[in-house]
Every structure is written in structure tokens, then in C-alpha cells.
């Protein structure tokens, strides 16, 4: 088992701090949990605690961006996108300033904190904003590279990180690129397009189905916006159906973005695995993934259903 992507984010910030003197980090009094404490330890003069005041956090980040810094604003996903949405809209995206919003503890795998803290609508909220780039890394290496890529590009970026450890998917040869999906496994029967923690589940499901002579193509879609239209259309043309898998509501997230591309360019059947328009509840991450059918078994069943 690899690292949690929030830990990868903290590690990447330290490396960025050494490489770029204009990188600053802001946090909402959660630096131990978001792992920005690592940056604070190394670069205390470039770390700013806004306190439990997420709207101020985003406004401060916009201010830093406007005078030439590259600010990373960090807090839990439910607070970053919910409590601070209007500031993100009007002070960051509307003027298109160079702020990176790094939200940790996203999805239902926050676990025992319960539905009030499980952000399952954050991707949808960020997708709705013009000028926003939305990235959901699948593992440690991709999270490291995505953080650095966000620092290199100009404009608002939403980086979604998790609380739990992820399985290692990529090796040291992997090269992350914003806006590009990656085919992890070839297949001609069904395509599974997954993001975040569900990528490992998709690969596991594909391995199980291979034993039953069902050929599944697996695509890691780490950039939700702008989405890789080319790889989606290719899959729609070459396989019988597409299944999307995300640790997020099926409303407004990966499934919705893929469906929009397919409807526009190459109509085919799309089935969505995700949270079905309900709130989360308290439980261990594994219990919640089972309850909301965010499992390899759920993907296997959807694949088989799509072939009937």
C-alpha cells in the first residue's frame, strides 16, 4: 500500500519550496492534517495560517497571486469548496488569478467524521466554474507530479486529495500531464474510466474479468476539467460501452463530464459508479466503500450488465 495523496501533496510542497521562491502556502488551521506542516517547518516565512476562516483563506490567496506569488490554499474539501465557494468564484476564477486550491479529506473515505465532512459534491462545484482546472490524482507519484504541474501552469487549479492510503499504480517512469487521460490497460469489450481511489478498483475488476475472457480497457482520468475528449471518443468508438467510477456523487462529476463528451461526439451507453445522490454517513472507509458500491465487485457487475 502506498501513501495517502495528502501526504504526497505535503512532500511535493517542500520540493516546490526549494525550487521556487515565489511559492507560498496558506492553511485554515489544519496544517497537520493537510500535511502543509511539512512546508511550514522548512519555510516558516512563506507559510500563513488563516485560521478557521476559509473565505479569508481564499481571499488572501487571491491577494498573493495578484502580486506575483504562487499560493497553495489548503483545507478540507468540504470547507474549501462549500464555505468558500463565493470567494473562489468572484476573487479567483472570475478574474482568473493564479491560485492553487489543494483540498484534502475529500470523498466518503474521510470515514468516521460522517456525512457533514464527506465532500462528495466538490468536483461538481469546481467543474461549474469557468477558468478552473480540476485534478484528482490516483496515487502517490501522480499526486506529487500533479502538485508540481499545477505550480507550473497559470490559472486556478483545484487539486483533490484523500485521507487514506492509496495503492501504487505508477512507477518512476510515469509522466503526468494536465488534461490527458492515460490508458492503463487495453481492452476491446468495455471501457472503465476511473479517477482517484477508484482507479485501483478498476484495475482489480479488469483483472478479475480477464479470467472470464472479458476484455476491459481501463483509463485513468486524473484531470476532470479540461477532460481528455480524444481518449473518451476513441473508447466510445472501439468498445461496447463506458463505465465511469468515482468517489463522488454521480451528479456533476466524472460521469457527467464523460457523458457530455459522448453525447456530443459519439453516442454510446454510459453507466456511472459513484454516490447515488445521497449524503455519506459515519463508518470506516472500507465499510463506506462497500455500502456505496464503490468496489471492484461493483465494477465487475456493471461490466457484465453492460454486455447483456
Which candidate, 26, 252, 8, 24, places its Cα nearest to that of 146?
8
Cis peptide preceding 226, ω within 30 of 0:
yes
Distance of alpha carbon 62 from alpha carbon 72, whole angstroms = 10
Which candidate, 122, 142, 140, places its Cα nearest to that of 132?
122
- Give the CA distances from residue 38 to residues 43, 49, 200, 281, 285, in Å, rounded to whole numbers and listed in that order: 9, 13, 27, 31, 25
Distance of alpha carbon 192 from alpha carbon 199, whole angstroms = 9
Q: Which residues lie below 8 Å from residue 230, measured CB to CB, with a gap of 6+?
A: none
Kindly state the cell numbers that stand for 58.
481564499
Does residue 54 carry a catalytic annotation?
yes
| Residue showing cell 478574474 | 95
In this structure, are residues 281 and 190 in contact, taking their beta carbons and an 8 Å threshold?
Answer: no
Distance of alpha carbon 68 from alpha carbon 17, whole angstroms = 15
Residues 7, 54, 142, 247: which is the catalytic one? Answer: 54
Which candidate, 257, 58, 138, places its Cα nearest to that of 146?
138
| Helices and strands (DSSP H and E) totals, the chain | 13, 12
For residue 275, what are the β-bridge partners? Answer: 249
Tell me the pairing of strands 242-249 and 100-104.
unpaired
What residues are annotated to the active site?
54
Amino acid at each position: 500500500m502506498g501513501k495517502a495523496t495528502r501526504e504526497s501533496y505535503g512532500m511535493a510542497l517542500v520540493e516546490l519550496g526549494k525550487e521556487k521562491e515565489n511559492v507560498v502556502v496558506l492553511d485554515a488551521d489544519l496544517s497537520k492534517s493537510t500535511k502543509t506542516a511539512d512546508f511550514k517547518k522548512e519555510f516558516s516565512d512563506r507559510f500563513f495560517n488563516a485560521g478557521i476562516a476559509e473565505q479569508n483563506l481564499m481571499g488572501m490567496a487571491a491577494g498573493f497571486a495578484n502580486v506575483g506569488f504562487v499560493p497553495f490554499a489548503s483545507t478540507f474539501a468540504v470547507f474549501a469548496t462549500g464555505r468558500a465557494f463565493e470567494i473562489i468564484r468572484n476573487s479567483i476564477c472570475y478574474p482568473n488569478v493564479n491560485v492553487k486550491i489543494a483540498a484534502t479529506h475529500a470523498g466518503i473515505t474521510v470515514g468516521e467524521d460522517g456525512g457533514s465532512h464527506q465532500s462528495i459534491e466538490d468536483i461538481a462545484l469546481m467543474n461549474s466554474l469557468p477558468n478552473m482546472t480540476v485534478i484528482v490524482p490516483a496515487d502517490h507519484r501522480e499526486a506529487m507530479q500533479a502538485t508540481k504541474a499545477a505550480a507550473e501552469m497559470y490559472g486556478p487549479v483545484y487539486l483533490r486529495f484523500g485521507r487514506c492510503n492509496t495503492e501504487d499504480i505508477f512507477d518512476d517512469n510515469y509522466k503526468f500531464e494536465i488534461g490527458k487521460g492515460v490508458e492503463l490497460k487495453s481492452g476491446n469489450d468495455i471501457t472503465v474510466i476511473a479517477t482517484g481511489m477508484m482507479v485501483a478498483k478498476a484495475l482489480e475488476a479488469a483483472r478479475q474479468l480477464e479470467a472470464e475472457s472479458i476484455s476491459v480497457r481501463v483509463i485513468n482520468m486524473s484531470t476532470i476539467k479540461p477532460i481528455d475528449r480524444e481518449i473518451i471518443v476513441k473508447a466510445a468508438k472501439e468498445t461496447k460501452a463506458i463505465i465511469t467510477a468515482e468517489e463522488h456523487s454521480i451528479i456533476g462529476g466524472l460521469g457527467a463530464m464523460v457523458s457530455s463528451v459522448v453525447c456530443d461526439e459519439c453516442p454510446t451507453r454510459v453507466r456511472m459508479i459513484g454516490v447515488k445522490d445521497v449524503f455519506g454517513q459515519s463508518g470506516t472507509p472500507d465499510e463506506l466503500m462497500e455500502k456505496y458500491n464503490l468496489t471492484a465487485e461493483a465494477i465487475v457487475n456493471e461490466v457484465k450488465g453492460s454486455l447483456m
